[in-house]
């Protein structure tokens, strides 16, 4: 899929073709970005990835594990936070790469971990004692497979310390 097709797809999704995260299907033929865009509930994430210049990276070979916040997760950010991040590419990149772990880490592996090092360089805390939490975010759908990794859908945006 070329760049313009991705932009048109993201625009169509942004115009309201929404799918709940529970409708997100594993599609090992699509990469992480295309899988998320097709779901329709990650328009803010797609917009942020584009603003940070990370789309091509997450369409790369990987493998990557992405803790993907939904649009509702971004809506929970304090007023002005998203706009400020979108205006500051360095901070936005730091936040987005804090959601990515190198390698394919499936749910069966995640529940055995206490923490995971992110591409940003920091670590996220993992608590599997009652469901799975990554820092303060709850994993609401796990193991959405893509050709270059796996997506775990989360309900809160992760902010690095």
pLDDT at 28: 58
Long-range contact pairs involving 104-113 (C-beta distance under 8 Å, separation at least 24): 104/62, 104/63, 104/64, 104/65, 104/149, 104/150, 105/65, 105/150, 106/142, 106/143, 106/150, 107/132, 107/139, 107/142, 107/143, 107/152, 110/139, 110/142, 110/152
pLDDT at 153: 96
**Enclosing domain of residue 98:** 3-154
pLDDT per position as a tens digit, 85-143: 999 999 999 999 999 999 999 999 988 999 999 999 999 999 999 999 999 999 999 99
Q: Do the domain assignments include residue 22?
A: yes
Tokens of 42: 């990650």
Mean pLDDT for all residues in the chain: 84
Contact criterion met (CB below 8 Å) for 67 and 99: yes
Contact criterion met (CB below 8 Å) for 128 and 121: no
**Residues 127, 132, 137, 142, CA torsion sign:** positive
Tell me the CATH number at 68: 2.30.180.10
pLDDT at 132: 94
Q: Do the domain assignments include residue 160?
A: no
Question: Greater confidence, 156 or 15?
Answer: 156
Helical residues (DSSP H) of 2-157, grouped into ranges: 3-14, 32-39, 43-52, 55-58, 71-75, 81-87, 89-97, 107-110
Q: 0.75 cut: is pTM over it?
A: yes
Residue 120 DSSP class: T
CA distance 46 to 69: 10
Q: Do the domain assignments include residue 13?
A: yes
Phi then psi dihedrals of residue 158, to 5 deg: -85, 130
Q: Do the domain assignments include residue 101?
A: yes
Q: Based on the structure, what is the number of domains in the chain?
A: 1
CA distance 98 to 69: 12
pLDDT at 152: 96
Q: Is 45 exposed, middle or buried (0-12, 13-18, 19+ CB in 10 A)?
A: buried
Q: Do the domain assignments include residue 123?
A: yes
pLDDT per position as a tens digit, 29-47: 899 999 988 888 899 999 9
pLDDT at 77: 95
């Amino acid at each position: 899929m070329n760049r313009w097709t991705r932009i048109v797809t993201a625009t169509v999704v942004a115009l309201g073709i929404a799918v709940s995260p529970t409708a997100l299907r594993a599609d090992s033929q699509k990469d992480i970005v295309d899988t998320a865009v097709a779901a329709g509930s990650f328009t803010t994430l797609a917009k942020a990835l584009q603003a940070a210049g990370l789309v091509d990276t997450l369409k790369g070979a990987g493998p990557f594990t992405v803790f993907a916040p939904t649009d509702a997760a971004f809506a929970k950010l304090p007023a002005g936070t998203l706009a400020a991040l979108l205006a500051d590419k360095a901070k936005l990149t730091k936040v987005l790469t804090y959601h990515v772990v190198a390698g394919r880490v499936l749910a069966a592996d995640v529940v055995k971990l206490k923490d995971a090092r992110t591409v940003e360089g920091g670590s996220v805390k993992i608590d599997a004692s009652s469901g799975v939490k990554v820092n303060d975010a709850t994993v609401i759908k796990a193991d959405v497979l893509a050709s270059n990794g796996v997506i775990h859908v989360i309900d809160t945006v992760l902010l690095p310390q």
